[in-house]
């Protein structure tokens, strides 16, 4: 009896493969779906890929039981061996937008598949085709990774744009806030100049208003510094640095 491959969790007997999953060892690891009615084909693909330095996670699924519900969980699909372009799983895999490599049994099947589904990568089954399959699959996975990085960059750029819009709004509102704050601070100072008018509790509340107004004034002054920093950064083509310490809130 041959030893079971480490990392695989077979759900059926070895000679009647239905679904075998190699679990991920890290979150960044790609997952390849191998869809085939031929268990030997699936094992051959897995065995060849395990000789590579970077081994993805695998799900070996029989095309007889696959229903297409888990397509989104995989980064690359390998289907084979295919006799013609009428394979039932190909339309669902192509519609999922994931790269698909189809190993065809003949040149005629390759041509028919390319004519019917140009987005599917067709590879003819010949001696040594597993080496070509690994190379082609590796390139497809690198493309998947590049697309993910591009999408993350777009999302980051959108976040930066929203933050920049908020920053510009805060700078525009600075003068209005400063005018209102000056009124609050001035009136609180005038009230504190009348020592016998208010009780100790009321005076304490007025002092809190005065102190909070002073703290807000310091924050608004930081807006002025940030505006100057942003202008310099735009001239130099760099991002402005953030304040190393958050503003503290005084309580009295």
| Band of residue 244 on the pLDDT scale cut at 50, 70, 90 | very low
pTM (2 decimals)? 0.57
User: Can you tell me the mean pLDDT for 189-195?
Assistant: 84
Quote the CA–CA distance of 190 and 184 in Å, as a whole number: 10
For the chain, what is the domain count?
2
88 CB-near residues (< 8 Å, 6+ apart): 63
| Band of residue 132 on the pLDDT scale cut at 50, 70, 90 | very high
Q: Which of 25-34, 59-68, 108-117, 218-227 has the highest mean pLDDT?
A: 108-117
Quote the CA–CA distance of 87 and 102 in Å, as a whole number: 10
- Residues 138, 203: one domain? no
- Residues of the domain holding 225: 162-236
Q: Torsion-angle region of residue 22: left (phi > 0), alpha (psi -120 to 50) or beta?
A: beta
Per-residue model confidence (pLDDT) at position 130: 92
Q: Vertex 145, ends 38 and 78: CA angle to 5°?
A: 10
User: How much of the chain exceeds pLDDT 90, in percent?
Assistant: 13
Collapsing DSSP to helix, strand or coil, 2 comes out as coil
For residue 13, is pLDDT > 60?
Answer: no
For residue 77, is pLDDT > 50?
Answer: yes
CATH of the domain at 112: 3.40.50.2300
Per-residue model confidence (pLDDT) at position 11: 40
- Residues 93, 127: one domain? yes
What are the respective helix, strand and coil percentages of the chain, to the nearest 5? 50, 15, 35
- Cis amide linkage into residue 220, ω under 30° from 0: no
For residue 134, is pLDDT > 90?
Answer: yes
Is 204 inside a domain boundary?
A: yes
- Residues 185, 126: one domain? no
Per-residue model confidence (pLDDT) at position 103: 92
Helix (H) or strand (E) holding 8: strand 8-10
Per-residue model confidence (pLDDT) at position 5: 40
Contact 105, 83 (CB under 8 A): yes
Token look-up 């209102």 returns: 180
pLDDT tens per residue across span 38-70: 888 988 999 998 898 888 888 888 877 776 655
- Residues 50, 143: one domain? yes
């Amino acid at each position: 009896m041959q030893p079971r491959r480490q990392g695989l969790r077979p759900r059926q007997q070895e000679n009647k493969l239905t679904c075998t999953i190699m679990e991920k060892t890290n979150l960044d690891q790609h997952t390849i779906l191998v869809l085939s009615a031929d268990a030997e084909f699936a094992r051959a693909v897995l065995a060849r890929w395990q000789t590579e330095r970077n081994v993805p996670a695998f799900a070996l699924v029989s095309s007889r039981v696959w229903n297409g519900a888990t397509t989104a969980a995989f980064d690359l699909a390998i289907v084979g061996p295919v006799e013609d372009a009428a394979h039932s799983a190909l339309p669902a895999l192509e519609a999922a937008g994931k790269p698909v490599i189809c190993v065809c049994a003949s040149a005629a099947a390759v041509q028919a598949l390319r004519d019917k589904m140009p987005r599917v990568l067709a590879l003819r089954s010949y001696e040594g085709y597993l080496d070509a399959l690994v190379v082609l699959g590796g390139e497809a996975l690198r493309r998947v990774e590049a697309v993910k990085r591009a999408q993350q960059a777009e999302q980051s750029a959108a976040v930066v744009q929203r933050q920049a819009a908020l920053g510009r709004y805060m700078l525009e509102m600075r003068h209005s806030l400063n005018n209102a704050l000056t009124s609050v601070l001035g009136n609180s100072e005038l009230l504190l100049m009348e020592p016998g008018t208010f009780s100790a509790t009321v005076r304490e509340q007025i002092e809190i208003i005065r102190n909070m107004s002073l703290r807000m004034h310091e924050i608004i002054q930081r807006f002025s510094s940030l505006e100057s920093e942003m202008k310099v950064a735009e001239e130099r083509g760099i991002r402005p640095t953030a304040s190393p310490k958050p503003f503290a809130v005084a309580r009295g």
